[in-house]
Structure 1
Amino acid sequence: MLKSIYFLPLLLILSCNSADTKPSTGTSPENPSAQPLTDEQLMDVVEKQTFKYFWDFAEPNSGLGRERYHPDGNYPDNDANIVTTGGSGFGLLSIIAADSRGYITRAQFMERMAKIATFLENADRFHGAWPHWMNGETGKVKPFGTKDNGGDLVETAFLCEGIICVREYLKNGTNEEKALAQRFDTLWKGVDWDWYRNGQDVLYWHWSPDYAWEMNFPLQGYNECLITYVLAAASPTHTITAAPYHEGWARSGGIVSGNTKYGIPLILKHNGAEEFGGPLFWAHYSYAGLDPHQLTDQYANYWDLNVNQVKIDHQYCVENPRGFAGYGNNYWGLTASYSRNADGTTGYDAHMPSNDKGVISPTAAVSSIVYTPTESLAAMRNFYENHSSLLWGPAGFYDAHSQQYNWSTKRYLAIDQGPMAVMLENHRSGLLWQLFMNAPEVKQGLVKLGFHSGKYNF
């Protein structure tokens, strides 16, 4: 996961030249048929195929989501068994959705959830927080960087979104389901959120047993990290007061923005991206479980905040000030993903209007379907019907595409596939939002921080 736009560790500058592709010829079993689909059929096809990332292509020992999946089998540093904590949280949500839709059986669901619980119970933890990466075969930390070899509170928060929803999904079921729900409940309650304040009124992203707090990355808004404060306040075992949220995250009110773009208010100051807003994953990760409908506090209406960010991104792509090929109403979406530069080099980048490389990330538009259904469906249909040879594969849409360079990376990242499956389900049924928002501790945490929800009556 991209650690905000200020922090791009060298480990994420992935060497992926071998993934550069030319347009394919002919068809393959994974390519969509020429038969037009209704909107509902299209959403179902995309959700079901994307879910395969966390099912068919999961890391086999842990059952969790791989950091990345390369269908060609070419992995840098032989890291095919590295699992991602945050991406696996989105994976848990996508597996719940798959069970609810009958993509898998309940027996298969229970077997996979039991495997995941066992792995997480025995994996490395640091004051309750899991690391960013783990070896899926051993459960040991895989350093994300030299000093990033301990607990990662933000990745842990994304995982806990999924853990809480699994508990809620199973807690009123059979005796076997109730017992498994209790195991997931114990997992999330083991996170010592208060430790990660380091004695101050702000949460810190990292702690290392070797380097302590040397990463020195306070969570201050606005970016993708809101859910971390919500869960820290919600914890019944290691909670925080409201002060770190207001003084740390909200910068004592400094988080509020008066800026507008295309006549659309930004509402909050996006860190390092105050003109257009940040990469679109900021509107997705925290809101996989946190329902922004009618959700407000003294700083923002969170539905308006996210809709506005997506609309600004869409409008930028429609106007296309840099003249990149293909950009328009049905080809848009800038967020962090694999990337390509004009000189042909490839890597990973946080795409956004202020950092536009001519690369469109399907997860940006597809995961925004809850906010801009018309515009997102237009992009999704265009990706699926007109660009399948470069964009569609065994786990859904590939991670990044550029008409400008006639290029695609035929690879996948958990943190991009997960939000697509999750937000498609939230758009179609609201299931994952309902599970998370109706968890008693989540409501209590939101109330503690001063949130109000017209939809959930608090």
Structure 2
Amino acid sequence: MVVVLQSSCGNVQKNSSEQSQKTTKEISEDSLLTLVQYRTFQYFWEGAEPNSGLARERIHMDGNYPKNDMHIVTTGGSGFGLMTILVGIERGFITREEGLQRFIKAVDFLEKADRFHGAWPHWLDGETGKVKPFSTYDDGGDLVETAFLVQGLLAVKNYYKDGNAEERALAQKIDRLWREVEWNWYTRGENILYWHWSPNHGWKMNFGVKGYNECLIMYVLAASSPTYAVDAAVYHEGWARGGDIAKSQTTFGYELPLNHQVDPYKGGPLFWAHYSYLGLDPRGLTDRYADYWKHNVAHTMINRQHCINNPFEYKGYGENAWGLTSSYSVPGAKDYYKGKTEEVPQKGNSANAEYAAHCPSLDLGVIAPTAALSSIPYAPDAVMPVLRHFYEDLGEKIWGVYGFYDAFSEEYEWYPKRYLAIDQGPITVMIENYRTALLWNLFMQDVDVQNGLRKLGFSSPHLD
């Protein structure tokens, strides 16, 4: 008999190995969703970096960490974590006051941390607030990760803006941080947004962001800024590539209206349907290029059908086990897949992991639970059987104290006990958007965001 989540939440704080050995057939759909939300919430609550209160880049339950990694804070993943904590308040996992104090700690840290023309870097040292280089030349502002962080900050602002004096003060401080991001600096005077800028290397990364991928929210926020906004032409000429983004393809009977450059027929990793839409509500969201709800549903269902068809005959794939997205990956699988090596990845080697952008055009036999679970708003009838299969049949291998581990492969008998913030973050948030639309409603009520969407030519029920 499974212990069903109680209002105190104490009953779910069981040893993960003990919990995974229980028979789980009796748990209701509602209780299972709450349990998954609670466990995943704990990644960002009890698992947070202690000085900053923000999200650690990764937590490895096997204890195998890169050197000096325990205090690396991920800014984009922290934005997802802020939204997850809002869910925790609404679900009764913590009190409103407990959430407030964590948010104050996090925002105070972000206020003092390194910023580059208002934009935070990809990684911060959680103890000092100094930039931690993500790569050789990526040691400055990261506008995409900043957008993911700001998406979460604006949801928190709107949650507390009409509260008591301390809550209003938090909302006002967030508003100042939002106003200090110099979105237009990152255009370099062109009609496109650039991902990176470094005080040491300038624009050397030279990554102009064109759609379609996970970065729609960056363009929406850049157009929405009350202080450093970009013109609509930046969106239409840069992101939408002068209209070339709208090249519809139909695969498995599902129409994908936007051109996913990595694979225009089957689409990119499923996180492209999640990251921008944790706050940006895709229901009824349209512009001259797409209906974004239909687009995300099609993206989800094409990814699912690819796994069901299973062209590489990977073990474990099917209607109850699908979902390809960026995550940890089997060591050596990418090189083997691309013909760079003839050495077949070793089975059962879960002590190591690489990272790969799994999608139908790079299918390595690796399933990431976040891919399907975070897609629940788009296809609940297709996702719930996956959730039950993961929990009831594979739980002993892939379920831990912070929810489902990042990724696994039955083909390679690979079950690393590791978590990544950017993959855990969308799970609780998108389940809540499916259940109550909490984060969609909070983010979309923002007046600046509404003005930006109108400026770019979007229609949405939130703008009526």
Q: What interval of TM-score do these two structures reach, taking the shorter chain for normalisation? A: over 0.9
Cα distance change of structure 1 residues 250 and 302 upon mapping to structure 2, 3 Å threshold: same
* Counterpart-to-counterpart distance in 2, 1:457 and 1:194: 24
* The one of 352, 359, 362 aligned to 1:355: 362
CA distance in 2 between counterparts of 1:141 and 1:32 reads 42
1:374 paired with 2:381, answer yes
Q: Residues 131-280 of structure 1: matches in 2 within 5 Å?
A: 131-280=121-270
Asked if 1:441 is matched to 2:431, the reply is no
**1:309-348 counterparts in 2 under 5 A?**
309-340=299-330, 341=333, 342-344=344-346, 346-348=353-355
Separation (CA, whole Å) in 2 of partners of 1:161 and 1:351:
25
Shift of 1:27: 7.3
Measured after TM superposition, the shift of residue 33 of structure 1 is 3.4
- Where in structure 1 are there 5+ consecutive unaligned residues? 1-25
The 3 A distance-change label for structure 1 pair 444 and 351 is: same
The CA distance in 2 between the partners of 1:171 and 1:382, in whole Å, is: 41
C-alpha displacement of 1:275: 2.1
Match of 1:107 among 97, 100, 113: 97
Q: CA deviation at 1:443?
A: 0.5
Instruction: Give yes or no for contact 2:16–2:401 (8 Å, CA) kept in 1.
Output: no
Aligned partners of 2:61 and 2:306: how far apart in 1? Answer: 33
Contact 2:16 2:399 in 1 (8 A): no
Gaps of 5+ in 2: 1-14, 334-343, 347-351
Counterpart of 1:412 in structure 2 is 419
Partners of 2:59 and 2:418 within 8 A in 1: yes
The equivalent residue for 2:462 is 456
Offset at residue 78 of structure 1 (A): 2.2
* Residues 114, 353 of structure 1: alpha-carbon distance in 2 compared, 3 angstrom cutoff: same
Q: Is 2:40–2:424's contact at 8 Å kept on the other side of the alignment?
A: yes
Q: Distance in 1 between matches of 2:94 and 2:61?
A: 22
Aligned-partner SS, 2:194 = coil
1:125 correspondence with 2:105:
no
After superposition, residues 87-98 of structure 1 pair within 5 angstroms as 87-98=77-88
Please give the alpha-carbon distance, in whole angstroms, between the structure 1 residues aligned to 2:88 and 2:157: 16
**Given residue 104 of structure 2, which amino acid in structure 1 is its aligned partner?**
A
Name the residue aligned to 2:61.
Answer: 71
- The one-letter code sitting in structure 1 at the alignment partner of 2:345 is D
Supply the AA of the counterpart residue of 2:379: T
Q: Displacement, 1:405?
A: 1.6
Which residue type is aligned with residue 343 of structure 1?
A: P
| Partner SS state of residue 47, structure 2 | coil
Residue number in structure 2 paired with 1:13: none
Does the 8 Å CA contact 1:295/1:301 hold for their aligned counterparts?
yes
Q: Which amino acid aligns with 2:456?
A: L
Cα deviation 1:157-186 (Å, max 9, x = unaligned): 000000000000000111111111111111
Q: 1:29 to 1:438 in 2, by over 3 A?
A: same
State the AA in 2 paired with 1:423: M
Counterpart among 405, 430, 435 of residue 437 in structure 2:
430
Among the aligned pairs, what percent are the same residue?
56
Name the SS for the 1:337 alignment partner: strand
Partner of 1:393: 400
**Does the 8 Å contact 2:405/2:416 carry over to 1?**
yes
| Distance verdict in 2 for CA 1:212–1:32, change over 3 Å | farther
1:260 aligned counterpart, secondary structure: strand
Q: Does 1:282 align with 2:272?
A: yes
Look up the equivalent residue of 2:364 and give its one-letter code: K
Partner of 2:22: 33
Structure 1 residue 107: deviation in Å?
A: 2.0
User: What is the TM-score of this pair, normalised by structure 2?
Assistant: 0.91
Identify the match of residue 82 of structure 1 among 43, 52, 72. Answer: 72
Matching residue of 1:402: 409
- Contact 1:32–1:384 at 8 Å: present in 2 too? no
Does the 8 Å contact 1:339/1:400 carry over to 2?
yes
1: CA distance, partners of 2:249 / 2:255: 6
Structure 1 counterpart of 2:186, which letter? Answer: Y
Cα distance in 2 for residues equivalent to 1:32 and 1:95: 29
Per the alignment, residue 336 of structure 2 pairs with none
Shift of residue 350 of structure 1? 0.6
Separation in 2, partners of 1:433, 1:136: 29
The whole-number CA distance in structure 2 between the counterparts of 1:346 and 1:431 is: 34
Q: Distance in 2 between matches of 1:222 and 1:90?
A: 21
Asked whether the 8 Å contact 2:256–2:298 carries over to 1, the reply is yes
Match of 1:295 among 281, 285, 288: 285
Q: Number of residue pairs matched?
A: 432
What do the CA deviations read for 1:89-129 (whole angstroms, capped 9, x no partner)?
00000001101111001221111011001100000000000
CA-to-aligned-CA distance 1:325-368 (integer Å, 9 cap, x gap): 11111100000000012413730101111110111000000000
- For residues 50-77 of structure 1, give each alpha carbon's deviation from its aligned partner in whole angstroms, at most 9, with x where no partner exists: 0001001000000000000112332112
Q: Give the aligned CA root-mean-square deviation in angstroms.
A: 1.2
Q: CA deviation at 1:32?
A: 6.6
How far apart are residue 148 of structure 1 and its match? Answer: 0.3
Q: Shift of the alpha carbon at 1:29?
A: 3.6
The question of whether the paired residues in 2 share the 8 Å contact of 1:117 and 1:184 is answered with yes
Amino acid at match of 1:456: H
CA deviations on 1:258-285 (whole Å, 9 max, x unpaired) are 2211121110000221121000000000
TM-score in terms of structure 1 length: 0.93
Q: Distance in 2 between matches of 1:78 and 1:241?
A: 41
